[in-house]
Amino acid sequence: MSVKAKIAAGAATFALAGGGLGLAGTLTASAATPSCGTNCTQLFAHKYGPKYVGDVYQARAAAGQPVILFQTSNSDQAEDFTVSFLGSVNSFYRHYGLVSPAFAHSYGDLPVVEIEYSPYGLSSNFCLSTAPGMAAVSGGKVSLEACGQYSSSLFAADFRDGVRDRRSEVGGDIPLISGATNSFSNPEVLTYPAGNPTDMPRPQLEVEPQSSYSGGAKFDSQLWGFQGSPVHGSIPAPPP
């Protein structure tokens, strides 16, 4: 069973503050299917924007099912996800111990995020994850695995390195650091690999060491926003 605790009140948005992303006000999210209502959102890579969003290949809720990017739809249950903020890494480490002490030491102030596949708004108990029970490695594929069992299904939302993006419901796009990384100078982060969403076979999301352009900005294939089609709802906010 997932450890996530959805927050019913106090929805928040993320806006740039002091060079990073910070909490500010109220946000709305979007769902791929109307039946997902207020519970779902969609994930997109800064590289392509919300034209292509996170999608479970063949819409199958099963361990090992690949996660790809696919053209945004308002009727495709494969694009329905629930994004839950579970509090700070430090707090999460103290209460659940699913991330390593080194991870908590490096990213203690960042929020823990869990991204669950929720077709038609229904919990599947499967989340975006690298190989369960194993350290994240460069090129590690991202698929569905059981939520809340291992650090591999958790990510730290790195607001410090976010960039403004009005297309994103959270005000910007951010790196998502794998909870299973054991490299802290260049952690493995959620990445869209080489190729394009229209390629066949569809490129599968993966984790790669975090990289920067010469000016210091993070690769646009490693920055992620939250948005979707016109059905609106809300993303649970981090607890205080």
Q: What is the pLDDT of residue 127?
A: 97
Does residue 64 lie in a domain region? yes
CA geometry: angle 233, 128, 171, nearest 5 deg: 45
The two structure tokens encoding residue 9: 């009140």
Does residue 45 lie in a domain region? yes
Strands 111-117 and 81-88: antiparallel
Does residue 16 lie in a domain region? no
Which amino acid type is present at position 88? S
Q: What is the pLDDT of residue 37?
A: 63
CA–CA distance, 26 with 10 (Å, rounded to integer): 8
For residues 29-51, average pLDDT: 80
Does residue 3 lie in a domain region? no
Average the pLDDT over each of 26-35, 100-109, 119-128, 217-226 and give the range with the smallest value: 26-35
For residues 86-102, average pLDDT: 92
Residue 174: pLDDT band (50, 70, 90) is very high
Domain with 191 in it: what CATH number?
2.80.10.50
How far is CA 121 from its chain centroid? 17
User: How many structural domains is the chain composed of?
Assistant: 1
Does residue 11 lie in a domain region? no
Name the pTM for this structure: 0.85
Q: Confirm if 6 and 237 have CB atoms less than 8 A apart.
A: no
Q: What is the pLDDT of residue 173?
A: 94
For residues 39-46, average pLDDT: 88
Average the pLDDT over each of 127-131, 222-226, 227-231 and give the range with the smallest value: 227-231
Does residue 138 lie in a domain region? yes
Can you give the residue range of the structural domain that contains 166?
32-233
Which comes out higher in pLDDT, residue 164 or 13? 164
pLDDT of 113 strictly over 70: yes
Neighbours of 197 (CB within 10 A): 18
Does residue 123 lie in a domain region? yes
pLDDT of 123 strictly over 60: yes
Residue 125 CB contacts under 8 Å (≥ 6 apart), including other chains: 1, 2, 116, 146, 147
Does residue 13 lie in a domain region? no
**Which of 77, 45, 41, 65 minimizes the C-alpha distance to 165?**
45
Look at residue 110 and give its three-state secondary structure.
Answer: coil
Distances (CA, A) of 37 to 31, 81, 143, 177, 217: 7, 11, 24, 28, 35
CA–CA distance, 83 with 197 (Å, rounded to integer): 22
Average pLDDT across the chain, whole number = 83
Q: Any bridge partners for residue 67, and if so which?
A: 56
